[in-house]
Structure 1
């Protein structure tokens, strides 16, 4: 019960910080979705069958092996009410991809990353990191009825999410090596520190590219900047990521 409370508290904090611009109904959706995703990530170590069978049961309309997964299915069925058609379908498809990727992560601990498999770490991270859903959550259907104005920015937004790998410090301290930076270092035959430096440059480049594509669409620029600031603020202020140990603090709206 204590663990579930921690998931809920973390999910609510994240939704309110990163998505403070969306309506209460949307916030409730994002918070509940996030709590379930955190639970699924934990479920991999205790009930792997539930994750393994999620997509097949979703496709057949069967009851899931965990009540939390049944709740996730209900959320996916309601996505079209809150987001555009493109957004809702990206949320659904991205969630199915994510659960599959989580299963892969749980069952491939001994898999060695081959040199020159340089696209695989990004391939896996965009899926397990649930990039498409969390980007589309930014844009409510009630804000704009279609996704035309920001659709071309999506690849760069997803790249930013991958690059803003703010759990790496915590994972490094815990001795974890099955993460994006270590897998990429193996594939590129370099060090994790070199990958981290490259990732910082790539993330800044993605952000600049997003702002260039947004052009004079000030509402779009504002939404993106609020999301970026909120995401950074959440990770800095949440002690589980241990970024405060690096002396990072938030002051007002500035990181």
Structure 2
């Protein structure tokens, strides 16, 4: 859906330009945010995604040759009783976790770390998807985790154990503390989302949508895992804020199609649109602009350090490839 031509707007609509994007403010009583008014078509979403990929220099390709790793992760899941005869619901989350590890972290030399990333991601997605009717278990996670007490659901026990094992897969630096804090923030965000707390901020709270998105993105974990252990933390730590933005916003862009198909509006794009009184297409373009700008700043920050730069470049293309390769995001449907 394209932004309306400002020359054809009525005098009740105020137009202004910001970052070369024309925005329009919704008049009082407008039904602009109804589903009929905001529904995006296949071609429009494909255009936005292709623009994002082109501006970042990414190729629309992903690797799906990860059957061996998927089998290994399933075997680990059975051995650890993530998957049990009476409950194999976790099994369907494994392919997505494997897809991100295989595509975005294929450059890591330690295959055990790749499998850790795959299973941790699968547990994150499980927590996000499977507790909408059991939010009490999510809200209790932190207190039980800190006291080392059993969680209110066996899969949350497994997630807690994975977080406790994080120092085994990453050098014991301040980064580990940030990663664990980010993981706990993610659980907090899941609890907020389950309660629909974060999706209707007032116009005066214009920074809240981005704040809530960073909290839910667990992007610090994925950012720190990009780099091989031989690269000093102080080389890439300054790029962390921009890596967080790119990781979160790239996911918002590349998952937007599946969310449109499901009629979901509890996401960054629609939250920004409601908060700022702009059309969702304007909010989506803003997310793309911010993701591209953050990616370019990361490249500039890391450019003097070849090893770190190369790791990030491989990750960034692979992270895009993960979304393309994963059936969860259904992006193959846009290639027809």
**Structure 1 111/237 Cα, relative in aligned 2: closer, same or farther at 3 Å?**
closer
CA offsets 1:127-166 (integer angstroms, 9 cap, x no match): 11111111112124x333x410000000010011122121
Counterparts of 1:195 and 1:36, CA distance in 2: 30
Compute the TM-score of the two structures, normalised by the length of structure 2.
0.69
Q: Residue 2 of structure 1: CA displacement?
A: 5.7
* 1:215 matched residue in structure 2: 303
Q: Once the two structures are superposed, what CA deviation does each residue of 1:174-222 show, in whole Å capped at 9, x if it has no partner?
A: 1111111100111111011011112212111111111111122111111
CA gap of 1:109–1:216, structure 2 versus 1, over 3 A, is closer
Counterpart of 1:251 in structure 2 is none
The question of whether the paired residues in 1 share the 8 Å contact of 2:223 and 2:243 is answered with yes
Aligned equivalent of 1:53: 140
Q: Mind listing any 5+ residue stretches in structure 2 that lack a counterpart?
A: 1-86
Aligned to 2:107: 21
Give the stretch that moved more between structures: 150-159 or 117-126: 117-126
1:110 Cα shift? 9.0
Q: Cα offset for 1:109?
A: 6.0
Alignment size in residue pairs? 246
CA contact (8 A) 1:83 1:139 kept: no
Partner residue in 1 for 2:329: 241
Conserved 8 A contact 2:198-2:212: no
Tell me the alpha carbon deviations over residues 31-58 of structure 1, each in whole angstroms, 9 at most, x when there is no partner. Answer: 1111111111122223222111000111
Unaligned runs of at least 5 residues, structure 1: 249-255
Contact 2:103 2:319 in 1 (8 A): yes
2:165 corresponds to: 78
Partner deviation per Cα, 1:209-243 (whole Å, 9 max, x = no partner): 11111122111111111111111111112233122
The answer as to whether partners of 1:98 and 1:129 remain within 8 angstroms in 2 is yes
Shift of residue 116, structure 1, vs aligned partner: 2.6
Q: C-alpha distance in 2, partners of 1:229/1:203? A: 14
When normalised by structure 1's length, the TM-score is: 0.90
Q: Distance in 1 between matches of 2:199 and 2:290?
A: 27
Match of 2:22 in 1: none
Which residue does the alignment assign to 1:31?
118
* 1:156-167 correspondence runs (5 A): 156-164=242-250, 165=252, 166-167=254-255
Query: For 1:198-213, what aligned pairs fall within 5 Å after superposition?
Result: 198-213=286-301
CA distance in 1, matches of 2:195, 2:329: 25
Higher relative helix content: 1
CA separation in 2, counterparts of 1:81 and 1:111? 37
Is the CA contact 2:183–2:221 (under 8 Å) kept in the aligned structure 1?
yes
SS where residue 234 of structure 2 aligns? coil
Displacement of 1:111 in angstroms is 5.7
Indicate how the Cα distance of structure 1 residues 110 and 196 shifts in structure 2: closer, same or farther if over 3 A, else same.
closer
**Does residue 1:64 correspond to 2:155, yes or no?**
no
2:234 corresponds in structure 1 to 148
Query: Which structure would you say has the larger RCO, counting Cα contacts within 8 Å and 6 or more residues apart?
Result: 2
**Match of 2:191?**
103
Equivalent residue for 2:223, pick from 119, 124, 135: 135
Q: Return closer, same or farther for 1:61/1:180 CA change in 2, 3 Å cut-off.
A: same
- Assess if the C-alpha contact under 8 Å between 2:206 and 2:275 holds in 1: yes
Aligned to 2:315, the other structure's residue is in SS state helix
Aligned in 2, Cα 1:44/1:26: closer, same or farther, shift over 3 Å?
A: same
